[in-house]
Structure 1
């Protein structure tokens, strides 16, 4: 089994371990968070929503801050700081009971998570050897899904003890990760050895037209992604199969864990990254659209599998594209903006998806959201196909097959020159 693993280097494996355990720590809490806030902490449903929303907004702010800090202070220190801030926030839930205290606590936890995220992706991009970047990001997806799968199981066990044990357990995960990153990762530079990054980096990134256009389109990709966790459970409830929705999550996570590496090896060799995005969005759109035809749990499971196959194309490729478009000295800031784009798409998807489902019920036409989701997925697929013909964006991005051809041609050109 080990022989099939790519040689990525110790630092990347440490970062992948960080991805796994940050998702483990998050998903230990996520299924139970709202319940604890409302039933145990005594918050109203409205205030519970405000606390949860504050954490999401804080994550967005933290991701922009984390990108800038990782370029200025180095990825290692920024990630360690983010993990420690996240741990402090989670410990705060043990003693917090008033609305304002819980709101402040989740703001701290959200900012810490946001500060950590860009440095982890930037580290994978910067440290991956030539030809292994997309593979490394595919393993990031595998690591995340292992955490997503195991987190709720561990959280369920700890919650049988008490919510205090649950919050302490999640916070301890982040503390241990902070120590592991501090001890196992080398700092990129020290003091005057660090590259001097000019101020106004975010403004310069937003003037990068290819990256900006890719980011704008990708907002709608993440908005569609959100429907898997928002609208699909609502559809399951309409079909009276909501009790089995957890099985869909487990099945799709296992699919990513088992097959992401193989899928990535195939498309990274044969498809341009933007063409890969086009194929992935066609699969995601078709998967969501097929929900309109569902009449049982097994139909929903089939739609989810098709959606997940598209996810395997899109997730590692989008990170690899950001890495290829980024200026090396600002790679953290690029991933900070990318994390912000993800959060903005998630917010858009939650708002629009909820409104669409409500409208569909009011009109007594339950298939409406899924037909619109399918149309948007296919539209985005077409947009990515057109972007693959736009040289300012497509030229900096090459498939692994093209990289291999370029490396093979280099010695021949050198011989011809001599």
Structure 2
């Protein structure tokens, strides 16, 4: 108890309100959104590729929305952007519970992607504002843990509620976001002075990011590699649920269990995997992560044997931890002095893989069936290794042309 109290007093009370809201909201969203593909297949006669397009449009909107949300946050304040976004998000999920037409679902998921791109970076920036620099790493680690606690609980709740009504899960998610928004409104007045940024924030403009991608070949190769990896990763919440339902029927709770295994693997093994990964070069971690993605997708291809799906999701998740952890550090290492914001902004274009992946995987699924679809996706995902290697090679060539002072930074690769 004393240890918990000591941990609590280390951080601003608003941090813990945001952490609690993260668990609550993520549990609600994982209760419904991962099942959107299944829900669309049941309430409509859409082809898998068109379901994939609806799912992917949110990622496309989010790619651009991050720039808009960042500027709005600087102009109007973080809390205002977060609260308004939560209220709009609540309306989006209530809309999902009522929607029937294809265009309605498309517009709603576009708004869903925009809301996510507004809320996530803004909430992280607020946490950074309220936390001393030396403690931020731990705060973001706690936040990642909170996300995965929600991700472990949500799918199991969603599977149970789906037995009552598929649309009910989306309505409850909407109410959860509404409650979270109201809670933030209630605490804003109490911590009003603390919620103002204490320093000037670096503003990342869209045209600056495009310029960075044109000039830095290494970053360009890395973005292509990340985009390809995300094509594989996007299958977990788009075509994997459709494939599992084809194999085991609409009454099966297997997909919910797979999502829970994914989240629990992160919670239990993240620290161990991270410690071991720190002893290897970043490129090695990215190659291993990409290979594990591909192996996981290949195991999904043999999904008629249920055990292979369990092994596959575990292997897939270990690849997720390695690849996404290393990717952020890789971009940080590529970034030139004073341009970190632009480099991270440019790396956001990897999210286009989440737009392409669901439609491409859905087309494979409808043309060749789940087995061959996941074999093809494994090959595509694995090809990202070549582009990571090209990016590393281009970076080392760039390094050879500059003066020695930054040598230490490059050796980490």
TM-score normalized with structure 1 length? 0.71
- Alignment map for 1:98-177 (pairs within 5 Å): 107-121=110-124, 129=133, 133=137, 139-155=142-158, 163=168, 166=172, 168-176=174-182
Matched, 1:281 2:290: yes
Matched, 1:253 2:263: yes
Match of 1:300 among 309, 321, 326: 309
Matched, 1:376 2:380: yes
Match of 1:319 among 328, 331, 348: 328
Q: CA deviation at 1:301?
A: 1.0
Q: Unpaired segments of 5 or more residues in structure 2? A: 401-405
Match of 2:273 among 249, 252, 263: 263
Q: CA deviation at 1:219?
A: 0.6
Q: In the alignment, which residue of structure 1 is the partner of 2:225?
A: 217
Q: CA deviation at 1:325?
A: 4.8
Q: In the alignment, which residue of structure 1 is the partner of 2:88?
A: 85
Q: Are the aligned partners of 1:67 and 1:119 in contact in 2 as well (CA < 8 Å)?
A: yes
Matched, 1:347 2:355: yes
Q: In the alignment, which residue of structure 2 is the partner of 1:202?
A: 209
Match of 1:24 among 11, 23, 27: 27
CA 1:111–1:199 in 2, change beyond 3 Å: closer, same or farther? closer
CA 1:80–1:70 in 2, change beyond 3 Å: closer, same or farther? same
Give 3-state SS (helix, strand or coil) of 2:236's partner: coil
Match of 1:66 among 55, 66, 69: 69
Q: CA deviation at 1:214?
A: 1.9
Q: CA deviation at 1:277?
A: 1.4
Q: Are the aligned partners of 2:365 and 2:373 in contact in 1 as well (CA < 8 Å)?
A: yes
CA 1:216–1:19 in 2, change beyond 3 Å: closer, same or farther? farther
Q: Deviations over 1:193-238 (max 9, x none)?
A: 6667778433344345243332221011110112233444455456
Give 3-state SS (helix, strand or coil) of 2:383's partner: helix
CA 1:150–1:203 in 2, change beyond 3 Å: closer, same or farther? same
CA 1:109–1:17 in 2, change beyond 3 Å: closer, same or farther? same
CA 1:87–1:241 in 2, change beyond 3 Å: closer, same or farther? closer
> Relative to structure 2, which stretch is displaced further, 137-146 or 297-306?
137-146
Q: In the alignment, which residue of structure 2 is the partner of 1:187?
A: 196
Q: CA deviation at 1:335?
A: 4.9
Give 3-state SS (helix, strand or coil) of 1:227's partner: helix
Quote the Cα distance in structure 1 between the aligned partners of 2:112 and 2:261. Answer: 30
Q: Deviations over 1:233-278 (max 9, x none)?
A: 455456547722322222222111111122123313x123332212
Q: Deviations over 1:110-140 (max 9, x none)?
A: 422221123345567886856974x766555
Quote the Cα distance in structure 2 between the aligned partners of 1:241 and 1:128. Answer: 51
Quote the Cα distance in structure 2 between the aligned partners of 1:352 and 1:124. Answer: 37
Q: Are the aligned partners of 1:72 and 1:197 in contact in 2 as well (CA < 8 Å)?
A: no
Matched, 1:228 2:236: yes
Q: Unpaired segments of 5 or more residues in structure 1? A: 404-418
Quote the Cα distance in structure 1 between the aligned partners of 2:33 and 2:132. Answer: 31
RMSD value over aligned CA atoms? 4.7
Quote the Cα distance in structure 2 between the aligned partners of 1:315 and 1:86. Answer: 26
CA 1:350–1:222 in 2, change beyond 3 Å: closer, same or farther? same
> Relative to structure 2, which stretch is displaced further, 289-298 or 118-127?
118-127
Q: Are the aligned partners of 1:64 and 1:333 in contact in 2 as well (CA < 8 Å)?
A: no
Give 3-state SS (helix, strand or coil) of 1:271's partner: coil
Give 3-state SS (helix, strand or coil) of 1:381's partner: helix
Q: Are the aligned partners of 2:89 and 2:174 in contact in 1 as well (CA < 8 Å)?
A: no
